[in-house]
Amino acid sequence: MFGDASFSEVVNEIYSASLEPARWPRALSALHRVMGGSTVTSLAYVERLGQGGLGFTNAEYTDPGWHWQSIQAMEPRCPRFRHAVLNFRPGALLFDAQHGHDGALGDADPCYQWYERELDARFYIAGTLFQAAGRHAYVAVQRSRRTGHVDKIDIRRLRELLPHLSRAVAINHALGEASVSRFEPEALAAIPQAAAALDADTAVLHGNEAFETLLRSDDGLVLRQGRLHARRPRDDRALQQLLAKAAIGQLSGALSLPRPSGRRAYGLVATPIPRGEPYFMARRPAAMLFAIDPELRPRHAPTAEMLAQAFDLTPMQARIAQLLGTGSSLDDCAAQLGVSRNTVRTHARAVYRRLQIERQSDLVALLAAWPPVAAG
């Protein structure tokens, strides 16, 4: 076994990480040392087969940039991983010898071929930790050919630590869910446009009253199993791409969504939300969606003249700022103003520089916060 000092150090680090998620790499480093890890020790969860979640690795490990992406892509292809997820039982141990992963058989394993070979992660020992709302958490220690298979001592070590890891992840999860619950609808209620907070899987967490009203109108947007969809398949594909890019923190974007009623299209703007503390497995707001209905002009929406005076914009810049700030796309602006799309883009960039913002979603938020004064 391992000494009391080593065991106490690992356990202390694990429980520190349960309260401060940023400490997980340090805790995994301690685990990495006592478990004889030689490549990477990781803590991760999967929500559904083929969809990875938040991951941590030991502090010494340098992610080559494709580690977690490869794990996510590998999951549906790997019999070993698929078996573990489908037969998940908290407290179970998984290791190579269980599956006869020796010699040529191990080299041919899809998990090894897909990404482990490039990490020199030939062998592994893993433990299942926690399950909540369909999400499965696990810890894995990867070993190289030089360090070889795990042995009985390694198995006993991890078995001793699994209860502590499981409790720490459960604490982390509970704190994360409590943190998410503080993202109350009151924050969205202050936004005059229809707005909703989405999680990392693009499921709707909260929506304000204007958002609920928009859904009840059943005019192009519909909520199915907790997720937003457009009525027409082509529009829905564009909508899902918009939401997915924002939810994974990739980029903000806008979309003009046609309405079956023939009314003017909705302007949809999606933008990432900074993640903050990475509480393990919590369904945190990952993106905001603003849905602007051009048929409903907000009572205190600024006129182009107001914007020109407030921010020293040219008349064309002010008009474009007004249109983009209420959800119009570049193409919509070009059509309404009778200019080219490139002209609109050039003026939009000038507006962003003048207002010291970076994207259309920032402009939408700025106009949403416009003070309630009457337009002259």
Q: What is the pLDDT of residues 272-284, one digit of tens each?
A: 876 555 566 556 7
Give the pLDDT band of residue 49 (cuts 50, 70, 90).
very low
Confidence bin at 17 (pLDDT 50/70/90): confident
In the block, tokens 């949809």 appear at: 268
Give the list of residues 6+ apart from residue 100 with CB closer than 8 angstroms, or none: none
286 in Cβ contact with 200 (< 8 Å): yes
pLDDT at site 77? 62
Highest mean pLDDT among 46-60, 272-286, 312-326, 349-363: 312-326
Fold for domain 298-376?
Arc Repressor Mutant, subunit A (1.10.10)
Which range, of 86-100, 331-345, 349-363, averages the lowest pLDDT? 86-100
Give the span between the Cα atoms of 119 and 355, in whole angstroms.
46
374: pLDDT strictly greater than 50: no
Query: When comparing pLDDT for 210 and 110, which is higher?
Result: 210
Query: Which residue intervals of the chain bear CATH 3.30.450.80?
Result: 4-180
Four-residue CA torsion sign, 8, 9, 12, 18: negative
pLDDT band at 250 (very low <50, low <70, confident <90, very high): low
CB 257 within 8 A of CB 239: yes
Mean pLDDT (the chain, rounded)? 78
Report the alpha-carbon angle 54-55-56, nearest 5: 140
Q: Where in the chain is the domain with CATH 3.30.450.20?
A: 184-296
| Assigned CATH for 184-296 | 3.30.450.20
pLDDT bin (cut points 50, 70, 90) of residue 133 is low
CATH 1.10.10.10 domain position(s) in the chain = 298-376
User: What does residue 115 show for φ and ψ, rounded to 5 degrees?
Assistant: -150, -25
Instruction: Give residue 50's pLDDT band: very low, low, confident or very high (50, 70, 90).
Output: very low
Mean pLDDT value across residues 251-260? 83
Answer positive or negative: Cα dihedral of 281, 287, 290, 291. negative
Percent of the chain with pLDDT over 70: 73
Q: Classify the C-alpha dihedral 56-58-59-61 as positive or negative.
A: negative
CATH tag for 4-180 (out of 1.10.10.60, 3.40.50.261, 3.10.20.340, 3.30.450.80): 3.30.450.80
